[in-house]
Amino acid sequence: MKTGFVILAAGAGRRMGGIAKCLLQLEGKTLLERLLTQLQPLRGKARHDLVLVLGHHAHDIQAHVAQLPDRIAPLCVINPRPEDDTASSLRAGLRALASDVKQIVVLLADQPMVDGEDVQAALDAFKARDTGIRVQVPMVYGQPGHPVIFDAQVRAALTGTPLQPSLRQWRAAHPEAVRLWTVENPHYTRDLDTPADVEALVKETRWSWRWPG
C-alpha cells in the first residue's frame, strides 16, 4: 500500500525564542535532516511522496533543504497563513501530496526521537486495525502523539469538501472510525517546544547540540 508522508514545520517557534525548531542541531544534524533520513527507507522514490509544509522561517528551512542529499529531500510547500491552526498546514500538505497514496503519515518536524522503527511500528498497527477504522492516533499514557495515520478517504474529506473540516473536527464527528492506539513508546509524544525541553533531552541523552545559525 503506497504511503505518503506530511511533515509539519510551519510554526514560528515562539516558545523557543522565535527560531526554526527543525533546524536545531543534535549530534551534528538538524532535527529535520535526522527525521528525513529515518523516513527515506519507508518512502517512495517520487519527491511528492513526502511533503514538508513551511510557513514561518520558510526561507531558512528551504535553504537548509537545498543542501541535503537529493535522496532524502522532500517537496516543500508553503502555507500562506501559518498563523492559523495546524489544520491549514495539514491541508496544504495533503493537497501537494501524490494523488495515488492510500495512507498518509503526519509527523511533526520537532520530534527528536522518532526513528524509522517507530514509524514502521505505527504503520504495522494501522495495517492490523479493525474494519472501519480510518484514523490512528498514538496514545502514550493518555497523551496523544505523532505520527497520526489516516486513509485516502479521510484525506479526501479534509481537502475535497466545501466545508473542509480539520482533522480534529473529522475525528469528533466520526469517533467510531478513530483508533486511539495505546502504546508505551515515549518517542511519539516527545517534541521540543521550549529551551527547557532541549536541556532535558541533552541531559538525558548526552547528545551535543547547537542552536540554528
Q: Mean pLDDT, the chain, as a whole number?
A: 95
> pLDDT value at position 116?
97
> pLDDT value at position 81?
86
Percent of the chain with pLDDT over 90: 90
Average pLDDT over residues 70-84: 91
> pLDDT value at position 104?
98
> pLDDT value at position 124?
98
What is the CATH classification number for the domain harbouring 141? 3.90.550.10
Average pLDDT over residues 74-80: 95
> pLDDT value at position 150?
98
> pLDDT value at position 4?
97
> pLDDT value at position 82?
82
Tens-place pLDDT, residues 36-48: 999 999 998 788 8
Tens-place pLDDT, residues 141-194: 999 999 999 999 999 999 987 778 999 999 999 999 999 999 999 999 999 999
Q: What is the DSSP string of 7-18?
A: EEE----GGGTS
Check the CA dihedral 37-183-181-201 and report its sign.
negative
Whose CA is closest to 87, among 22, 146, 158, 135? 158
- Total domains in the chain come to 1
Contact 201, 21 (CB under 8 A): no
Residue carrying the nine cell digits 531558512: 60
Per-residue pLDDT at 85 exceeds 80: no
Domain hosting 25: range is 3-210
